[in-house]
Amino acid sequence: MPSHDVLIIGAGLAGQRAAVAAADAGVSVAILSKVHPVRSHSVSAAGGINAAISVTDDWRSHAYDTVKGSDFLGDQDAIEVMCSEAPDEVMHLEHIGVTFHRNDDGELDLRAFGGASIKRTAYVADITGQAILHVLYEQLMKYHETVDRYEEWFTTSLLIDEDGKCVGCVARDIRTGAMETFTAKNVILASGGAGQCYKPTTNALICTADGIAQAYHVGAPLMDMEMVQYHPTTLVENGFLITEGARGEGAHLLNADGDRFMEKYAPNKMELASRDVVSRAEQTEINEGRGVGEDGSGIYLDITVVPRKRVHEALREIVNIGKDFAGVDITSEPILIRPGQHYIMGGVKTDIDGATPVAGLYAAGEVACVSVHGGNRLGANSLLDTLIFGRRSGEHAARRAKTMSMPSTTDVQVRRDEQQIAAIIAREKEGRRISEIKDELGLVMNRSVAVYRDEAGLQEAHEVVTRLKEESLSAYVDDRGAVFNQDVLGAIELGYMLDAAECTVVAAIERKESRGAQFRTDFPERNDDDYMRHINTTKNGDAPHVSYTPVTITQWQPEERKY
Amino acid sequence: MADTRKPAQDFTLRIRRYDPESGEAPYWDEHTINLEPHRSVLEGILQARGRFDGSIGIRCSCKAAICGSCGVRVNGQAGLACHTHLDAALKSSRDGVIEVEPMGNMPIIKDLVVDMDAVHWKKIRRVTPWLLAQDPLPEREHIVPREAMVDVTQSMACIQCGACVSDCLSMEVDPLFVGPAALAKAYRFVGDPRDSQQFERLKDLAEDPHGMYDCTHCFKCIEACPKGVAPMNQIMRLRRRAGGDHHIEDRNNGFNHEHAFVKNIRRNGLLHENDLLTDSFGGKASPKAAMFLAKSLPVITRALLRRKATLKVALGHPHKAPKDVKRIFDVVEGRPERYDLNLYITGYDEEQSGAEEPNVGAIAGGGEDGQAIPSAPGASPKGAS
């Protein structure tokens, strides 16, 4: 039975950064992931990473932009930590080998990004996430003697001892089907977001709310789950992401009349207003009949205004995506986009060291809610979030590990999980197919818990999710084998997604105001008196229990938000 | 370029299945799916899995050719399932049915899932795949040329999908060959001005009998690579740096042979084979050349007997290089710096848009690299125009 000081679940940027940080602190580390680490969804992050490294910049400016971007729902102590530590973190990445692009003087080049008052986004072409993820994996290979890697292991549940402390997890070796108990002094959840609750989404198939649901099941509160980011530029065709870097490089948004409509909504920042603002503007244009494309459900993103040479050097990936997936040469014609689900600002509630209210359980990255993003995340702040709080979690967990002895665990839970999986495999072919339930969930979430929301739509979504939860219990699988049985894992993931979706809908119903990504057409104003608070959902029997926690304000009082 | 206007139609997929628990041999399984022709083979497989058979095994995640999970062979050609359009796959199919198989050169775990760790990742680990930076580190970032970082971004763009490993012919013959993906990874450090161990890395890979000289320029990896990394080009750049910049002797004399060609053309204009052999081994006076000449006598004799060569041509100097040849050498050697063809750097000129097509550019680049001139190998389209 493997036992480690620090066990990390998920091997994207947050998880890998936590692993290296914990190993540097001299404790034993394991990192476990349901996919090979370089397949993690961090690989898709395109545009870059924010840090006030320019001599004309100041981390306080970055912090203020982030607070404003969050629509004053972000916790300012956490934002201060993230922004002040950002320059050192980016230099660290550069030192371990990330191939950040340079300016003509050989220094790190910076590009413009949404909601930022100055150019502060370091980048590697438009594969920044991939470049950082692969370099971190290089480090994991380098650290092979101090970090044990469990690649393609699927976590089925977290282990909680009698005192309520987290002491490990149960996981299944996907390759053999064998179940194992992992004992650990500390567990860091770094297993990403919940994008697959939506259809379409820019998120990968693996983003199925695993860590969010696992934490929820052991009593950890989920915070701000209603805050779901719609990215302004996703392909109408199939929901693929077109990086904000395109607008950072100067691309325009055009409606059916050929107007740069952002003039009306954000006269100062135009296309580079924060994402919730741009997505709402696009949706308004579409709803009011000024959309483009066959059914008027799209907006034109015009990249032809960016010099061709620059596009090929800095936006190569979207040249390929345009060509391969939309049939458009983006250097010579505009491409059809619309807002699409992209990120969840909410997640497992943590403090600035990544610690959740459950002792021994940490969370970092998209699975967590510190909260640095509040109601809306700025582009290029997510990579930063994963690295800063991944590192801090790793360091803090390592410190905690040094003060305690290895907990003892039994095989009760591994037997229970084993039986549950056997029961899923043994289900009669009477219920619905898993893919059917998943599709219905995705479509209702994208219809009713999207850019614009109202009570009726949210109530409908709630009813659908509740019904689907029931139906998922009898959904059957075809694969009866042990080796690489992805079918049965899909059934477990469906349960995770439904838990996360339920909390999202419940929190969205609870927040009767419009702030950041939550825009209620029935409550179109921000209401600081009643709702400048975090909404927490905690498992209470079979349904989420709602509670509130205050927003931490240090130096920036709420003000009207204009771009 | 994908055509997004056509309506959904039926496609039949013939998927190679293997269940290691059954004790049965692999078999073919057919499913008919309904999708628009520009959708991917992966979407087709996912539809078959969702609607008909949840037990079809395939790794997949991003669906957008960036996570590198879904490497397979479609109609025999390795690539990403998510990056292969159904209409293109139908066109390349033998009998109107799209064949999907697991990648080659790696053991199969189940259906389309192969053991990447046993082959691909093992080889990646072979090349010390992390930056060995100078000590001490600078306080801020390393100051490096702008182009240098754009340059290594091409090999950094590798998503470790294994398609090149799957189709590598050298690896099929010599399973110990370090291989295209790992050698491209090696170039990512050798080409990175921040790395302090470039000589050691090159020497290591030059001396390994399964190292950089095990590649036979078959272009298979360039064809298979979905990201334009062009692994073979990176291997050629490793060789150029090893032989040209670091004077590391190569095991099969390829670098000197290349030099001999250049010298020969400069002198003769047309190839004069007699000198080629001796020049490749350090000139007529070199003992190595004599040894190789002795070893080659049977071949030479056969050539003479079959009148492929005559004594007159072999011993005399029938050609003299015309002035135009000298001019080409002057232009190429007169350049202040070496141009290495790189997809991220090419396409500077508006009128050179053809060179921006990743695969076209990659293959053209490979061709130039294959017959590279030591002092100015792989001239960029800009330089050539």
Q: Is A48 annotated as a binding residue?
A: yes
Lowest mean pLDDT among A106-115, A124-133, A534-543, B327-336: B327-336
For residue A290, is pLDDT > 70? yes
Whether the pLDDT of residue B352 is over 60: the answer is no
Examine residue B78 and state whether it is found in any structural domain, yes or no.
yes
CA distance A101 to A62: 21
Give me chain B's average pLDDT, please. 84
Query: B57 lies in a domain?
Result: yes
Prediction pTM value? 0.91
| Most B-contacting residue of A236, A324, A342 (CB-CB within 10 A), to test interface | A324
Domains of chain A plus CATH, in order, are: 3-227+345-401 (3.50.50.60), 234-338 (3.90.700.10), 412-524 (1.20.58.100)
Q: pLDDT digits over A393-411, tens only?
A: 999 999 999 999 999 999 9
Residue B372 has pLDDT above 50, yes or no: no
Cα–Cα distance for residue pair B374/B255, rounded to 1 Å: 9
Chain position carrying tokens 């795949």 = B129
What is the secondary structure of A395-435 as a DSSP string?
A: HHHHHHHTTSPPPP--SHHHHHHHHHHHHHHT--TTS-BHH
Cα distance between residue B203 and residue B128, in whole Å:
13
Q: Quick check: is B277 in a domain?
A: no
What is the rounded distance in angstroms from the CA atom of residue A265 to the CA atom of residue B142? 41
Q: For this structure, is A275 an active site residue?
A: yes
pLDDT tier, B348 (very low <50, low <70, confident <90, very high otherwise): very low
Task: Tell me how crowded residue A264 is: count the other CB atoms within 10 A of its CB.
Answer: 11
Query: Tens digit of pLDDT for each residue in B92-126?
Result: 999 999 999 999 999 999 999 999 999 999 999 99
A529 pLDDT more than 60: yes
Residue B15 in domain = yes
In a domain, B95, yes or no: yes
Mean pLDDT of B71-89: 97
**Secondary structure of residue A57 in the 3-state scheme:** coil
Q: Does the structure show a pLDDT above 70 at A223?
A: yes
Instruction: For an interface test with A, give the residue of B21, B125, B149 to mutate (most A CBs within 10 A).
Output: B149
At residue A181, the pLDDT reads 98
Average pLDDT, chain A: 96
Percentage of the residues of chain A whose pLDDT score is greater than 70 = 100
Residue-wise pLDDT for A366-380, tens only, equals 999 999 999 999 999
CA B251 vs. chain centroid, Å, equals 20
Q: Are B185 and B158 in contact (CB under 8 A)?
A: yes
Number of Cβ pairs closer than 8 Å across A and B? 198
Q: Read off the pLDDT of residues A22-34 as tens digits, 9 standing for 90 and up.
A: 999 999 999 999 9
Chain B neighbours among A 75-134 (CB < 8 Å)?
91, 94-97, 99-109, 124-125, 127, 130-131, 134
Q: Tell me how close the Cα of A40 comes to any Cα of chain B, in angstroms.
A: 7
Which pLDDT score is estimated for B112? 98
Q: Which residues constitute the domain of residue B78? A: 9-114
B319 or A344, which is more confident?
Answer: A344
- Residue B285 three-state SS: coil
Cα gap B35→B33, rounded to integer Å:
7
Mark which residues 157-196 of B lie under 8 Å from A by CB: 157-160, 192, 194
Number of structural domains, chain B? 1
* CATH code of the domain in which B106 resides: 3.10.20.30
Residues of A in contact with B117 (CB under 8 A): 151
In this structure, of A42-56, B62-76, B263-277, B330-344, the range with the lowest mean pLDDT score is B330-344
The tokens for B35 are: 């999708």
pLDDT in tens, B257-305: 888 888 888 888 888 877 787 788 877 778 878 888 788 888 888 888 8
Higher model confidence: residue B251 or residue A533?
A533
Kindly report whether the peptide bond that precedes residue B26 is cis, defined as omega within 30 degrees of 0: no
pLDDT at B294: 84
On whether A34 is known to bind a ligand per the annotation, the reply is yes
The Cα B367–Cα B230 span in angstroms is 11
The answer to whether residue B106 sits within a structural domain is yes
Whether A13 has a binding-site annotation, put simply, is yes
B90 found inside a domain: yes
To the nearest 5 percent, what fractions of chain B are helix, strand and coil? Answer: 45, 10, 45
Indicate the residue of A35, A326, A487 with minimum beta-carbon distance to B55. Answer: A487
What's the pLDDT tens digit per position in A89-99? 999 999 999 99
Instruction: Say if strands A166-173 and A153-160 run parallel, antiparallel, or are unpaired.
Output: antiparallel
Which tokens in the block code for residue B224?
Answer: 């298979």
3-state SS assignment for residue A346: coil
Single out the catalytic residue among A111, A275, A453, A561.
A275
- Comparing A414-423, B286-295, B356-365, the range with the smallest average pLDDT is B356-365
| Residue A183 to chain B, least CA–CA distance (Å) | 25
Instruction: Flag whether B40 is in a domain.
Output: yes
Report the pLDDT value the prediction gives residue B256, as an integer from 0 to 100: 80
pLDDT of the residue at B317: 64
Tens of pLDDT, residues A442-484: 999 999 999 999 999 999 999 999 999 999 999 999 999 999 9
CB–CB of B129 and A141 under 8 A? yes
Query: Does residue A54 carry a pLDDT above 60?
Result: yes
pLDDT tens track for A497-517: 999 999 999 999 999 999 999
Q: Which of A107, A204, A480 minimises the CB distance to B67?
A: A204
**Greater confidence, B77 or B370?**
B77
pLDDT in tens, A332-389: 999 999 999 999 999 999 999 999 999 999 999 999 999 999 999 999 999 999 999 9
Return the DSSP state at A119: -
